[in-house]
Chain A
Amino acid sequence: MKNCQILSGFFNFLKITNSLCKKMSSPAPKSPEQSVKSKKYDRQLRLWGDHGQKNLENAKICLINATALGTEILKSLVLPGIGLFTIVDGEKICEEDIGSNFFLEVDTLGSSRAQIATQCLLELNPDVRGDYIDETPEHVMSHTQDFFNNFTVVIATALSEKTLIPLSKLLWEANIPLIVCRSIGFLGYIRLQVKEHTVIESHPDSENPDLRLGQPWDALKEHLDQIDVPNLDKKTRSHTPALVILYYFLKKYREEHNGLLPKTRLEKLEIKKMIEESIPSDEHGLNLLEENYKEAIHYVNTAVTPLKIPSNIQEILEDESCVNLTQNSNPFWIMCAALRELVQTDGALPLRGSLPDMASDTNSYVALQQIYQKQAQVHAEIVYRRADQIARNLGLGQDAIIENDVKLFCKHAAELHVMRTSCIADEYEKTNVDLSSYLEDSDSLMFYYIMFRGLERFISEFNAYPGQFDDQVEPDVLKLKGILSKLLNEWGCSHALRDERVHEVCRYGGAELHSVSAVLGGCAAHEVIKLITHQYKPLNNTFICDVISSNTATFCL
């Protein structure tokens, strides 16, 4: 309200619009009918859109072992509406299961865990289908060939080392993402394996606007050149968008600097000063900058930059998959190849086409917005034609490339992301693990990663959790210490694990605390959603959650 100079003018305006509204109100546009689904999923559709939801609804998820952690993960996938899930679990429900797993009913003791968990989870959402196999994953792997190849993502909890390694290899070959999770006491572990995962919409928390005032295309130049900023009357000037003002001073600056753009901080300061001092002081000798002039100064840093391809995008454009397309290349890489050609000719990414809000009258803003949008359309059209041509040359079908997908791709060209993790089997079979850089800090959560590896080996060797039996806690501490030092030795690590951490893990005796599994379940489900929707950047690749100190860490192994 402070900036509103003419309140009486505002009320006059009100009267006019009201009479206008009355005249127009008869044949109003009808509001669209909202489907039950869009109402039910409204709060999440605002995060990943209808296209993200469609991917979810087509996804088939496999959960190995319906532990408390396992069902917590599935819960956060069934609720947002995945297409289908299958539980593979050969266990029968025991009393401890009922005490920690919400998706088992009290009177189901001794029943198939896979079956009851499937029933209880299906109650959550009638849109989701689910089935189960009450056999161990080992049994399924050896009896049904390619069983796991039918899924969008495979999730495994409480899986033994000796099953994990072949499963990891199998899914690696099939390029199906695998998420492995473990919850013990106040500690948690998530490992994500995906051979290649591509993201168009990363949804960065903040990004600079794409304005290109230093390199205006013809239409923008023509539009901006015709506005004579210093000769505008005071009222018009105060309603002129910051970009117009900045462009005018940029032109002046370049005239004085052999056509060069301001690059250094000092040069930018100079043009900022030009803008600031261009407004004559008022009768009190005060120089009060209008909102749009302040914004123009603000945009010096982001709107006037040399055209450059961000290094992470350059890397994607030079990727093997982009340079050497085959008939098996997916649309993402074909679009990247087309983008690459545009970048080679233009030296820039396609224009994003969106304009941030800035103080301005409606018409000046909308005119500018349309110029940006039109140019973005031109760029997207070029990329689309090119991508379509490439697809045809590869012998792919006519509809291999969809125009709207290319539009989305071009709009987000600055935030493309490709992720390739290592293979879990390699990590387990590798002997020269260099963790020393992490271990300098004795508080590093990397120690818990080592702990989880030791824990798995303990389970393989003794077929029980360390500390599982009340009278074995102390002996198990010694055994686990032995395993850990052997592991570290194998990896050539000289660091030892703090005794207290070994004691703490043996105290747990394999206990699964529900609330800790709830935390991990949420984290793992969230990463699965990212993998399915191809939006937001997933975890790369090992996550340790320490609920003792309420800290988490991510390691790329």
Chain B
Amino acid sequence: MSETVESSQKRWGHLRKVLERPGPFCHPEFEPSSEILDFIMTSCKILIIGAGGLGCELLKDLALMGFKQIHVIDMDTIDLSNLNRQFLFRHKDIGSAKAEVAAEFINKRVAGCYVTPHFCKIQDYDEEFYRQFHIVVCGLDSIVARRWINGMLVAMLQYENGVLDQSSVIPMVDGGTEGFKGNARVILPGMSACVECTLDLYPPQVTYPLCTIANTPRLPEHCIEYVKVITWPKENPFNTALDGDDPQHIGWIYEKSMERALHFNIPGVTYRLVQGVVKNIIPAVASTNAIIAGICATEVFKIATSCCVPMNNYMVFNDVDGIYSYTYEAEKKENCLVCSQIPQELPIKDPSLMKLKEIISLLCESVIYQMKSPGITTTIGGKNKTLYISAIKSIEEKTKDNLNKTLTELGLKDGSEIMVADVTSPTTLVIKLKFMNNDVEMN
């Protein structure tokens, strides 16, 4: 059976109505025709990132919206706690790769759909892989991964004489949920606000000061955090790193946290709380995931077919008290780290006082950078010089002394460029140092 025949089947009658008839809310370029369904069935390639709570829903939704060329990428395996919402998985699938089980299920249930699974990290692929897709849709719980793919899609943009070549734009639809709250957005890289443009929307992670957990614990969380960051490394009970998925490990943390809480008279340590704190668990429920994924899938369909104008461009959703949503246009940041063409500058008050480690903590703590473990290199006198890299142990050993050196001591000058690499981006970020204290420069 040829694909042309398939798209004219009665089975797709619902889709054909909105694709083969004109309407007042279509994109101005929309021309109703049977070729559109043909296009999404035969040529349109979609990448779904994540085969978890949102990913399973996205696969189902897109397969039933006519898409057949779907790839899904996820590095995780199936856990018992996924089964309350990740509906393509069964008890027998625990331990198998999410992407593979999900793809197999969809291919079996939706005849003619061909999902290709990738059981790996998004970082394992390069531009060449990502270039094959028409639209990328993300259902991730990790901000780092979201920033990485955003960076990748921006890096793939092509400019001619400073003008964006629109054919190099791969739209990205992104959804996220946390309990009864969620958000969905449409990003046209280089054209509308990207993930980095709106980085301040992500709340900072809750952290407990070390001195509180060590000296003046008051909450059960303080006791658990203490055992996690202090007692575990000290006692190293199983001669291995703490694994939040190992019930023996969690059991040990629970027992030690209970002891500590009893000692301080602090109520409220429960096994569930211990798990939550150790694994940083985000509550999740099938219904909210279904809503956000449905919104995202609809946007993918709109972008691919033009049969309706896409969302512009950010929706927040909350169903704690009734059902509430708000859609607004997130603005592209003029000097965005990632999607603007403007070189980044970092003002330095006094290079003879500013130490390298302070630059690193600035890159981690500032709202606009929010990096995880930046590695920094530069060129001095035409030669590449590694200032600090923590990810590779041998280099960390060799460069850690630089952390306490000032910028002047490191030989950096006003206008020097540092190249910063971090897990949050597939490319290195070039930052030009701007010394505010010109006396030093003259000396």
Partner of A516, one of B9, B11, B272, B294: B294
> B323 touching A543 by the CB < 8 A rule?
yes
- Chain A 18-30 interface 0/1 with B at a Cβ cutoff of 8 Å (1 = within): 1011001100111
Q: How far is the CA of A361 from the CA of B215 in the complex (A)?
A: 8
Q: How large is the interface on B (under 10, 10 to 19, 20 to 34, 35 or more residues)?
A: 35 or more
Partner of A21, one of B22, B231, B289: B231
- Chain B 56-95 interface 0/1 with A at a Cβ cutoff of 8 Å (1 = within): 0100111011000000000000001101110100110000
> B25 touching A504 by the CB < 8 A rule?
yes
- Chain B, 267-326, CB within 8 A of any chain A CB: 267, 271-272, 275-276, 281-291, 293-295, 297-299, 301, 308-309, 311, 315, 319-325
> A4 touching B17 by the CB < 8 A rule?
no
Residues of chain B within 8 A (CB-CB) of A98 are 11
Residues of chain A within 8 A (CB-CB) of B383 are none
Q: State whether the Cβ of B401 lies closer than 8 Å to any Cβ in chain A.
A: no
Q: State whether the Cβ of B104 lies closer than 8 Å to any Cβ in chain A.
A: no
Q: State whether the Cβ of B18 lies closer than 8 Å to any Cβ in chain A.
A: yes
Q: How far is the CA of A519 from the CA of B327 in the complex (A)?
A: 15
Residues of chain B within 8 A (CB-CB) of A38 are 272
- Chain A, 115-169, CB within 8 A of any chain B CB: 123-126
| Closest partner residue, chain B, to A190 (CB atom) | B323
Q: State whether the Cβ of B180 lies closer than 8 Å to any Cβ in chain A.
A: yes
B188 to chain A, nearest CB (A): 15
> A202 touching B321 by the CB < 8 A rule?
yes
> A44 touching B290 by the CB < 8 A rule?
no
Q: How far is the CA of A76 from the CA of B180 in the complex (A)?
A: 13
Residues of chain B within 8 A (CB-CB) of A72 are 290
Q: State whether the Cβ of A195 lies closer than 8 Å to any Cβ in chain B.
A: no
Q: State whether the Cβ of A462 lies closer than 8 Å to any Cβ in chain B.
A: no
Q: How far is the CA of A126 from the CA of B92 in the complex (A)?
A: 12
Partner of A99, one of B57, B64, B87, B179: B64
Residues of chain B within 8 A (CB-CB) of A504 are 23-25
Q: State whether the Cβ of A458 lies closer than 8 Å to any Cβ in chain B.
A: no
| Closest partner residue, chain A, to B295 (CB atom) | A519
| Closest partner residue, chain B, to A520 (CB atom) | B294
- Chain B, 152-201, CB within 8 A of any chain A CB: 179-180, 184
Q: How far is the CA of A38 from the CA of B97 in the complex (A)?
A: 23
Residues of chain B within 8 A (CB-CB) of A81 are 84
> A124 touching B87 by the CB < 8 A rule?
yes
Q: Which of A220-228, A282-290, A314-322, A546-554 faces chain B?
A: A546-554
A444 to chain B, nearest CB (A): 15
Partner of B210, one of A10, A28, A361: A10
Q: State whether the Cβ of B111 lies closer than 8 Å to any Cβ in chain A.
A: yes
Q: How far is the CA of A1 from the CA of B235 in the complex (A)?
A: 23
Partner of B60, one of A94, A102, A239: A102
Q: How far is the CA of A96 from the CA of B17 in the complex (A)?
A: 12
A443 to chain B, nearest CB (A): 12
Partner of A31, one of B15, B254, B267, B327: B254
Q: State whether the Cβ of B214 lies closer than 8 Å to any Cβ in chain A.
A: yes
> B286 touching A34 by the CB < 8 A rule?
no
Residues of chain B within 8 A (CB-CB) of A102 are 60, 64, 109-110
- Chain B 241-270 interface 0/1 with A at a Cβ cutoff of 8 Å (1 = within): 000000100111011101100011111000
Q: How large is the interface on A (under 10, 10 to 19, 20 to 34, 35 or more residues)?
A: 35 or more
Residues of chain B within 8 A (CB-CB) of A25 are 256, 259
Q: State whether the Cβ of B209 lies closer than 8 Å to any Cβ in chain A.
A: yes
Q: State whether the Cβ of B14 lies closer than 8 Å to any Cβ in chain A.
A: yes
Q: State whether the Cβ of A525 lies closer than 8 Å to any Cβ in chain B.
A: yes
Q: Which of B216-224, B390-398, B404-412 faces chain A?
A: B216-224
| Closest partner residue, chain A, to B66 (CB atom) | A99
Residues of chain B within 8 A (CB-CB) of A9 are 215
> B218 touching A525 by the CB < 8 A rule?
no
> A365 touching B210 by the CB < 8 A rule?
no
> B216 touching A360 by the CB < 8 A rule?
yes
> A36 touching B80 by the CB < 8 A rule?
yes
In the A-B complex, list the 8 residue pairs whose CB atoms are closest, starting with the nearest. A522-B290, A4-B211, A518-B294, A519-B294, A500-B24, A522-B291, A514-B64, A31-B251
On A, residues with C-beta under 8 Å from B are 1, 3-4, 9-10, 13-14, 17-18, 20-21, 24-25, 28-32, 34, 36, 38-47, 68, 72, 75-76, 79-81, 94-96, 98-102, 105-106, 123-126, 185-186, 202-205, 239, 357-362, 365-366, 369-370, 467, 473, 500-501, 503-504, 507-523, 525-527, 529, 536-540, 543, 547-552, 554
On B, residues with C-beta under 8 Å from A are 9-15, 17-18, 21-25, 57, 60-62, 64-65, 80-81, 83-85, 87, 90-91, 109-111, 179-180, 184, 209-211, 214-219, 230-231, 234-235, 247, 250-252, 254-256, 258-259, 263-267, 271-272, 275-276, 281-291, 293-295, 297-299, 301, 308-309, 311, 315, 319-325, 327
